[in-house]
């Protein structure tokens, strides 16, 4: 028996993955979600659908560093099976407004990257080898792919947290700023995952016999999820109701299809020693050229430690 934590699991990809994993009675699921009502309903629905009662919800608001710390504290107090899997799935995108968290940081960067960065670092002491950490990213991070999204604009992480101070963005409109923040955050997910994989290997915390692997998953184009919550009304209708009708197209996935693929990264024994890789659905592929930049990954890691207020001497992974 092992525990799996999935952020943002009350709907979309996270819920579909949780539903697939709940069929395995050797897994105890923890849904890490912000909305109490939606999460409670998701837990009950999963229990009724899968006949598995080993599912619960712990509140997690990735836009609040305090909430992330409270989540870890609550998890530590529970007598659950050993933690084996962390899936960093939750994500947001804002294209009509620029928003900031109570911690004073741009929301997309704070939720998609910093919240998960802090969550993983706090949970590492609970993670029992063999363990797996999976970051959900997006092909929109890769400018070589045609996604309809602008390329990421990786800068000093202090500027990612406070983009109004970034002179390279001063001529951008609100919509472009939001889309750039999203693609940049997805690049950060990959840089962070690869850097964590390297650091685990360097410190010998991950061995061939007892590995802790860190990989990245992209669901591809997956309409019908909550990612479009800040879209204009017409675009939201297209994303939520029209594009899902074309899921039979090769490049359009349903949450169910992508959820099954994500669950494979958790359960497939053939992947037990695979780390620092990028998966598109069931296929291992190359991520963008920039995502392999070790210097940028180290800069992101070190500055993220400062931004979330972690003490370097208390880090499990240095």
Active site residues: 182
Q: Are the CB atoms for 124 and 316 separated by under 8 Å?
A: yes
**Residues in a beta bridge with 136:** 217
Sign, CA torsion 297/298/304/305: positive
- 10 Å CB burial of residue 41 (0-12, 13-18, 19+) is middle
Measure the CA–CA gap between 254 and 244, rounded to whole angstroms: 7
Calpha distance 282→278 (Å, rounded) = 10
Rounded distance between C-alpha atoms, residue 186 and residue 139, angstroms? 8
Distance CA 218, CA 140 (A): 9
């Amino acid at each position: 028996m092992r525990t799996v934590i999935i952020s943002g699991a009350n709907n979309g990809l996270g819920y579909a993955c949780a539903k697939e994993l709940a069929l395995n009675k050797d897994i105890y699921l923890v849904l890490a979600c912000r909305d109490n009502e939606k999460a409670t309903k998701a837990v009950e629905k999963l229990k009724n659908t899968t006949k598995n009662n080993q599912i619960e919800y712990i509140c997690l608001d990735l836009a609040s560093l305090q909430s992330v710390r409270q989540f870890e504290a609550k998890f530590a107090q529970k007598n659950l099976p050993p933690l084996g899997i962390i899936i960093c799935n939750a994500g947001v995108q804002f294209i009509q407004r620029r928003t900031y968290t109570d911690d004073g940081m741009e929301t997309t960067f704070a939720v998609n990257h910093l919240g998960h960065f802090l969550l993983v670092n706090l949970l590492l002491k609970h993670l029992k080898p063999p363990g797996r950490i999976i970051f959900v990213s997006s092909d929109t991070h890769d400018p070589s792919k045609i996604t309809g999204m602008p390329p990421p604009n990786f800068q000093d992480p202090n500027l990612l947290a406070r983009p109004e101070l970034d002179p390279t963005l001063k001529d951008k409109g609100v919509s472009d700023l939001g889309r750039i923040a999203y693609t940049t955050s997805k690049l950060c997910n990959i840089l962070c995952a690869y850097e964590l994989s390297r650091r685990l290997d360097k410190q010998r915390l991950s061995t061939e016999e007892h590995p802790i692997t860190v990989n990245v998953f992209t669901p591809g184009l997956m309409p019908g999820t909550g990612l479009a919550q800040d879209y204009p009304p017409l675009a939201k209708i297209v994303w939520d109701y029209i594009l899902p009708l074309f899921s039979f197209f090769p490049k359009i996935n349903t949450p169910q299809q992508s959820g099954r693929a994500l669950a494979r990264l958790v359960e497939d024994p053939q992947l037990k020693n695979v780390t620092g890789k990028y998966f598109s659905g069931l296929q291992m592929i190359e991520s963008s050229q920039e995502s392999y930049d070790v210097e940028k990954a180290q800069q992101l890691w070190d500055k993220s430690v400062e931004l979330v207020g972690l003490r370097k001497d208390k880090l499990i992974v240095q």
